[in-house]
Amino acid sequence: MEYFYSYLILASIFVVLGLATNLLVGIAGIFSVSQAAIFGVGAYVTAYCLVNEVMGFLPAVACAAGACLLLNIVITLPALRVAGDYFVVTSFGIQLLATAAFLNWNGATGGASGMAAIPPADLFGYAIEDTGSMLLLCVAAMLLCCLAFYLAMNSPYGRLLRAIREDELAVAASGKPVIPAKAAAAALAGVFGGVAGSLYATFLSFIDPSSFDLNASVLLLSMVVVGGARTLAGSIIGPFVLLALPQVLTMVEIPSTMAAGVRQGLYGALLIAFMLFRPQGLAGQKL
């Protein structure tokens, strides 16, 4: 049961991240392989605040969300100016830069060995120590984020974002604020990333750079692609399916040294298979 709970917790955290990636890549059409970096910043900020007892859990989450919001706007800024492939390189570059920072900024991040003994989350003085109440917290956070995503996408703002992806020039010509709209999408995605990072750090109570590297960004992208881009349902299905995959793999006999490679390779194969045969994913719209 404990095991199943932790699967559900991780899946709901990744749903929040999937929403962020979907918002940028699927809806606004801003290619990003640096969302794992944002996720990592959220996790590290929270861990730093809690381990050093700077503040409580909720203010730490707010800090993480705020930091990620600002950071995501800053790293998406190039996308507002340069189109297409130049931003792809920038996005990859930011991911590599973040990994370098997580690995080498020993004073703040603990370097390659990561940060351990992160205290559990607490809400209004009530410590959330057992898995059951952590699950409640994560599911609540997930539902809240899904609601925010749903409301934003069904508002005039959501239509504006979609219109920008279809034809940016036409939107600009009709006097709509293109750049603020894109920046707002990045901000919202940043908040999602920060919140997810906070939950992740407090749930595992241990973080290290390997959870926030390029492979993690590819995993996030796979989740959105497999679940289906541009829809709420897609962002929810993707993480639940892809996180179940390692559990299925444990039933096949492979040496533990190979497990990570096989899993990552399989995510890659899924990406290709979906792009070739079903670009809209399980429950999405055409990418």
State how far the Cα of 101 lies from the Cα of 103, in Å rounded to an integer: 5
Measured from the CB atom, the residue of 2 and 81 that comes closer to another protein is 81
Query: Among 191, 141, 106, which Cα is nearest to 11's?
Result: 141
Among 7, 56, 66, 93, binds another protein (CB under 8 A): 93
Rounded to the nearest angstrom, the gap between the alpha carbon of residue 174 and the centroid of all alpha carbons in its chain is 33
287 counts as binding another protein under rule CB under 8 A: yes
Question: What contacts 131, CB < 8 A, 6 or more positions away?
Answer: 2, 5, 6, 9
81 counts as binding another protein under rule CB under 8 A: yes
163 counts as binding another protein under rule CB under 8 A: no
264 counts as binding another protein under rule CB under 8 A: yes
214 counts as binding another protein under rule CB under 8 A: yes
140 counts as binding another protein under rule CB under 8 A: no
Question: What contacts 192, CB < 8 A, 6 or more positions away?
Answer: 16, 17, 19, 20, 23, 145
Find out whether 171 and 144 touch, Cβ atoms under 8 Å.
no
267 counts as binding another protein under rule CB under 8 A: yes
Among 135, 171, 225, 243, binds another protein (CB under 8 A): 225
- Assigned token pair, 283: 């429950």
179 counts as binding another protein under rule CB under 8 A: no
State how far the Cα of 220 lies from the Cα of 161, in Å rounded to an integer: 21
With H, G, I as helix, E, B as strand and everything else as coil, classify residue 164. helix
Among 104, 113, 154, 250, binds another protein (CB under 8 A): 104
Residues that bind another protein (CB under 8 A): 25, 29, 31, 33, 75, 77-78, 81-82, 84-90, 92-94, 96-97, 100-101, 103-104, 214-215, 218, 221-222, 225, 257-258, 260-262, 264-265, 267-272, 275-276, 279, 287
